[in-house]
Amino acid sequence: MYKEVKSCRVCHSVKLKKYLDLGEQPLVNSLVENARKYPLQVLFCEECNLSQLSVVVNPELLYKDYPYHSSVSKTFQNHCRGMAIEAKSYFDDGYDPMVIDIASNDGCLLEQFKKEGYYTMGVEPADNLAKEANKKGINTVNAFWDRETATRVPACDVITATNVFAHVDDIRSFLSCVRGKLKVFSKGMLIVEFPYLPNLIEGNQFDTIYHEHLSYFLLKPIQILFDSCGLNIFRVDKTSIHGGSIRIWATPYSREVEPSVQAVLDEEEKNGYYNLNTYLNFSNNVEFVKRQLKEKLREIAMGMETVMGYGASAKGAMLLNVCGIEKHDIISIVDETPDKIGKVIPGIGIPIVGFEHFDVVQPDYILLLAWNFKKELILKTVNHKINRGQYIVPIPKVEII
Ligand code: DWN
Ligand code: ZN
């Protein structure tokens, strides 16, 4: 079911120091009340500075049937469009590049690349998502990205891997399969994007720590890893998506390295991210939010007022579990993902319901569990005139707005 991490995923060092222990927690997308629990601890590698979980849960268990559909968010769709446009600027006018998206989910990113004229192919391990993408006309191979899968896809100009690299245990094999697929003549490139560790620490985003996320990346360990896999990082962008992410552009071929690469490395060093103490301090903030949220919900209940959640996100499930929130604290949680409606928050059992339940309940408070899409969620409730109540934003600290 799971294995323990004994050495660093990037540099193989055994100098791993634990800095956060969130106890035993359920898998965030296992939407049943009595979900099995697994240890959730974060370790810091003193050699390359990679933060990583102490265990690796079997990916078949995590991803074969996956309820998260990235297309639900308009903000994310727009973000994907931006990536398609930027990547195209690296190719000659009139040339339509071929892109392969690894862990392509429901085809959200590839739909945007298609609009920009790319040829597209997805690779997605979840049976339900691959099926949905194929139905929409996004050609998708239903598989994990590995050596065997790499033989089933054509050589291409761009490989994208958004919000998947942190989920992968054998990242060296992942990269070597990527490298072999990038066309020489077009100087093919890999674009990887994932939540950025300094945003997690500064924004107290402890709810994004869960079993799917095996690594919490800085640029430094990524640079070490990519160098050793023959991939040259030539550009790094910071983006605001998912609470603050980093986009890394790399190629096995030669390209001029943009100043953004060194600038991000310098900033990491300056801000103390190569020092274990920075992370030990972070664990104290986690305790603060845990107490605050529990107290706020208790206060609301004492005043006979009601709370519903919005966004049965993975991070929402983790937040509620880590904070010890109970079934009676929240009436239900609205989510617009058909695969989530009718299920429950793992380990707690709070029901996940459709948007129309806001009308039925008219809650006094809406707890924004997908705080990364705060604006989009608030706008939707306001447009539907479900603006009687107030919003609770749980992260970085509990606030009522
Ligand atoms: O890495 C991961 C990230 C990027 O995505 C995964 N391991 C899983 C997932 O994490 P998450 O579930 O925390 O992601 P989101 O995108 O913050 O989840 C938002 C949830 O809210 C989804 O279930 C969809 C829902 N939602 C909605 O119902 N209406 C979201 C929006 C914007 C909406 O308008
Ligand atoms: Zn290391």
Residue 18: C-alpha distances to residues 225, 263, 323 (Å): 22, 28, 20
Q: To test the ligand 1 pocket, which listed residue (335, 350, 391) has its Cβ within 8 A of the most ligand atoms? A: 335
Contact 71, 77 (CB under 8 A): yes
What tens-digit pLDDT sequence spans the chain (401 residues)? 999 999 999 999 999 999 999 999 999 999 999 999 999 999 999 999 999 999 999 999 999 999 999 999 999 999 999 999 999 999 999 999 999 999 999 999 999 999 999 999 999 999 999 999 999 999 999 999 999 999 999 999 999 999 999 999 999 999 999 999 999 999 999 999 999 999 999 999 999 999 999 999 999 999 999 999 999 999 999 999 999 999 999 999 999 999 999 999 999 999 999 999 999 988 888 888 999 999 999 999 999 999 999 999 999 999 999 999 999 999 999 999 999 999 999 999 999 999 999 999 999 999 999 999 999 999 999 888 776 679 999 999 999 99
Dist CA 286 CA 283 (whole Å): 5
Contact 249, 234 (CB under 8 A): yes
Task: State whether the beta carbon of 193 lies less than 6 angstroms from ligand 1.
Answer: no
Task: State whether the beta carbon of 380 lies less than 6 angstroms from ligand 1.
Answer: yes
pLDDT in tens, 125-162: 999 999 999 999 999 999 999 999 999 999 999 999 99
Protein residue with least CA distance to atom 26, ligand 1:
311
Task: State whether the beta carbon of 73 lies less than 6 angstroms from ligand 1.
Answer: yes
**According to the model, what pLDDT value does residue 383 have?**
80
Task: State whether the beta carbon of 315 lies less than 6 angstroms from ligand 1.
Answer: yes
Reported pTM: 0.96
**According to the model, what pLDDT value does residue 191 have?**
98
Q: Label residue 302 exposed, middle or buried (CB < 10 Å: 0-12, 13-18, 19+).
A: exposed
Residue 105: C-alpha distances to residues 111, 133, 134, 317 (Å): 11, 8, 11, 20
